[in-house]
Amino acid sequence: MEKRVVFRSTWLPYALVAPQIAVTIVFFFWPAVQAGWYSFQLQDAFGERTQFVGLANFAALLGDANYLHSFRITAVFSVLVAGTGIAISLLLAAMADRVIRGALAYRTLLIWPYAVAPAVAGVLWLFLFAPSVGIITFALRSIGVHWDWVLQGDQAMLLVVIAAAWKQISYNFLFFLAGLQSIPRPLIEAAAIDGAGPGRRFWTIVFPLLSPTAFFLLVVNIVYAFFDTFGVIDATTQGGPAGATQILVYKVYYDGVKGADLGGSSAQSVILMAIVIALTVVQFRYVERKVQY
Amino acid sequence: MVEQRPWLTAFAHAVLIAGILVIMFPLYVTFVASTRSLEDILSVPMPLLPGDRLWENYAQVLAAGTTKGVTAPVGRMMLNSLVMALAIAFGKIAISIAASFAIVYFRFPLRNFFFWMIFVTLMLPVEVRIIPTFKVVSDLGMINSYVGLTLPLIASATATFLFRQFFLTVPDELAEAARIDGAGPMRFFRDVVLPLSKTSIAALFVIQFIYGWNQYLWPLLITTDESMYTAVIGIKRMIVAGDALTEWNLVMATAMLALLPPAAVVLLMQRWFVKGLVETEK
C-alpha cells in the first residue's frame, strides 16, 4: 500500500530515518556481523591471539553432548511452557467470556502478571519453592513429597516452567478473550436452537474459529520460552542442577560471559539467529493467511 | 449468554476465582514476607498473615539495601529503572514515529532498503547477540552509563510497523489539504499527524515502559557499579547462595517495589495496554 499524496524534499526524509538507522547499524548489524565473524575464529585463553578456524566451532558444537542436551532441554521447556500457559489461559478465557457480572474485575486481576519482570517472577516462585524456607516446599513435605530442586533436575525444570508459564498466562488470556468475543453470536445462538449444549458448541464452533489465535499464541509462546525466559532461569536455577535447565539462550550467555569462549558462544548466537528467523517467517506466513481469511 | 444455565455460570465464576487465587498467591506470600522479620520467615512454615515490620523493611531497603550482599539503596535502583524505562519508551516512540513518517510520506531512493533494514532487527533479539553487542558498547565507553543502558535498546521494528500501519489509514485528503494551504511536511506532522496518533502513542508507551523497566540481561552486563543497578538486577544480586543466608524479608520488599510501578501502569492504563498488546502483534 502506498500514499497517493507525498511531500517533496531532498534531505528531510533522510534526516527523519537517520536516528533509527544509526541505532540499528551500530547496535544490531555491526554486532550481528561480528558474531558471524567470531564464530569462525578461535581465541586463546587471554584473548590476545585469534586464529581463523572455519567451521570448526560449529562442528565442535554439533559434536558436543552438552550442546545437544541443551537443545533437548530447550525443546522440553518451551513445549511445557507453551502447553500449560495456553491450556490454562484458554480455560480462564472461556469462563470469562461466559460471565457478565464482574467481568472487568476478573480481567483486571488476571492481567497484572504481564507487568512482572521474568526475573522477578522467578524470584517469587523461588521463594515459594525454596528447599529450606519455602511454603510450598513445606506443604509438599507434609504430604510426603521430598522437594529439593537444587539436587533434582526434574524439579528444577518444573520450577522454571511454573514461573515462566505463570507470567505468560495473562498475555494468552487477553488474546483468547479478544478472539472469543469476536465470534459472531448468531452462530452460537443457531447451534443452541438446534439443541447443541455448551460443551458441544465449544468444540464444534468456538474452538475451530479460535484455532488461528491458538496457533499465533503457540508461536509467540515458543519465542517467549526460547528468549525472554533468560531472567527466569538466571534468577532461579542458573541452568542447574548439572545443566538440567540450561536452555540455549542461557548457554550462549554462560559460555560467552562466564566461560569466556568467544568463538563457541558466537557460533551458538548464529544458530539461535537462524532459529529466530525461522520462527519469524512462520509467524508472518500465519499473519498473511489471517488477512485473507 | 444464549441460555440460562445457572449452574454453569456458577461453575465459570468458581473456575475464575480459583484461577485468580493461584495467580495472586505468589504476590500475597511476597507481600506477607516483606512485612515480617527474617526470624519469622525462617521459622518454617512462615506465618501467612502480614506482620508489623512493613515500615522497617521498606525503609531499610529504600535507604540502604540489604545488610549483607547488596548495600546500595533500592531507592537509587528504582530511579535507575525509571530513567531506563522512560528513556526507552520515549526514545523508541520518537525515532520510530519519525522514521515511519519519512517512509510513508516521502518517496526517496533507498526507502525500501531502510524499511527492510528496520524490519530485520525483529529477528535479532539482544539475547542472541549478547557478547558482540556488549563489546561494541564497551568499546564506545558506555559501560555503567544511562546511555549504555538505553541507547542500544531503542531501535524498534514493532513501533515503526505500528506507526506505518496507522499512517497508511490516515486519509490522503488531509495531506492534500495541508499542501494546498501551503503547510510543509513538518507543519503537517506537528499539526495533523501527531494529534491523530495520540492513542497509538499511549498504547505503545505502556508496552515499552514495561519492556524497559523489566530489562534484565542487558543491565546485568552493562552495570558493574552498584549505584547503576536497576531494581530487577538489585533483587537478583541480593539472593546469596544457600537460601537460609538470604535476607528474604528485604529481598521480598525489594521485589514488591520492583513490580509495583509496571503493574500500576498496566492497571491504570488498562485500555491502552490492551490496545497496545493487540496492535503491536499485528
Nearest by CB: B266 against A27, A29, A115:
A115
Over residues B60-78, the mean pLDDT reads 83
What is the DSSP pairing of strand A50-52 with strand A41-43?
antiparallel
Over residues A35-60, the mean pLDDT reads 75
Angle at A173 between CA A170 and CA A178, to 5 degrees: 130
**pLDDT per residue over B174-193, tens digit each?**
888 988 888 888 999 999 99
Could you tell me which residue, A212 or A169, shows the higher pLDDT?
A169
| CATH number, domain A63-292, options 1.10.540.10, 1.10.3720.10, 1.20.1300.10, 3.40.50.1820 | 1.10.3720.10
Task: Give A169's pLDDT tier (boundaries 50, 70, 90).
Answer: very high
Looking at B43-52, B106-115, B238-247, which range is the least confident one? B238-247
Domain residue extents for chain A: 63-292
pLDDT above 90: percentage of residues in chain B? 32
**Alpha-carbon gap, residue B154 to B152, rounded angstroms:** 6
**pLDDT per residue over B192-216, tens digit each?**
999 999 988 998 899 899 999 999 9
User: Strand, coil or helix: what is A51?
Assistant: strand
**pLDDT per residue over A149-162, tens digit each?**
888 888 999 999 99
Phi and psi at residue A144, to the nearest 5°: 90, 10
**Which of B114, B116, B130 would you mutate first to test chain A, the one with the most A CBs within 10 A?**
B130
pLDDT above 70: percentage of residues in chain B? 95
pLDDT at A291: 39
pLDDT at A289: 54
Nearest by CB: B168 against A1, A192, A253:
A1
8 A C-beta contact, residue A50 and residue A41: yes
Phi and psi at residue A51, to the nearest 5°: -140, 135
CB contact under 8 A, A23 and B176: no
pLDDT at A293: 35
pLDDT at A189: 87
In this predicted structure, the answer to whether residue B224 has a pLDDT above a threshold of 90 is: no
A contacts of B278 (beta carbons < 8 Å): 174-175, 178
**pLDDT per residue over B253-267, tens digit each?**
999 999 999 999 998
Phi and psi at residue A5, to the nearest 5°: -100, 120
Average pLDDT, chain A: 85
CB contact under 8 A, A38 and B132: yes
Amino acid identity of B56?
E
CB contact under 8 A, A12 and B243: no
**Alpha-carbon gap, residue B145 to A11, rounded angstroms:** 33
Average pLDDT, chain B: 87
B contacts of A181 (beta carbons < 8 Å): none
Q: A250 CB contacts (<8 Å, ≥6 apart)?
A: A230, A233, A234, A238, A239
Nearest by CB: A95 against B16, B131, B215:
B16
Does A96 contact B at CB distance below 8 Å? yes
Task: Give B41's pLDDT tier (boundaries 50, 70, 90).
Answer: confident
In this predicted structure, the answer to whether residue A198 has a pLDDT above a threshold of 80 is: yes
pTM of the predicted structure, to 2 decimals: 0.89
**Alpha-carbon gap, residue A44 to A50, rounded angstroms:** 6
Over residues A241-250, the mean pLDDT reads 87
8 A C-beta contact, residue A171 and residue B274: no
Could you tell me which residue, A148 or A157, shows the higher pLDDT?
A157
Task: Give A1's pLDDT tier (boundaries 50, 70, 90).
Answer: low
Task: Give A32's pLDDT tier (boundaries 50, 70, 90).
Answer: confident
In this predicted structure, the answer to whether residue A261 has a pLDDT above a threshold of 80 is: no
B contacts of A192 (beta carbons < 8 Å): 2-3
CB contact under 8 A, A6 and B105: yes
Over residues B102-122, the mean pLDDT reads 86
A contacts of B160 (beta carbons < 8 Å): 20
Name the grid cell of B174: 488531509
8 A C-beta contact, residue B249 and residue B243: no
CB contact under 8 A, B160 and A4: no
Looking at A246-255, B40-49, B209-218, which range is the least confident one? B40-49
Does A80 contact B at CB distance below 8 Å? no
In this predicted structure, the answer to whether residue B162 has a pLDDT above a threshold of 90 is: no
**Alpha-carbon gap, residue A158 to A176, rounded angstroms:** 25
Name the grid cell of B117: 533494514
CB contact under 8 A, B132 and A8: no
Q: Please tell us whether the domain made up of B74-280 is placed in CATH 2.60.40.1180.
A: no
**Alpha-carbon gap, residue A100 to B8, rounded angstroms:** 13
CB contact under 8 A, B262 and A96: no
8 A C-beta contact, residue A148 and residue A131: yes
CA atoms within 13 A on the CB side of B7: 1
pLDDT above 70: percentage of residues in chain A? 94
8 A C-beta contact, residue A192 and residue B3: yes
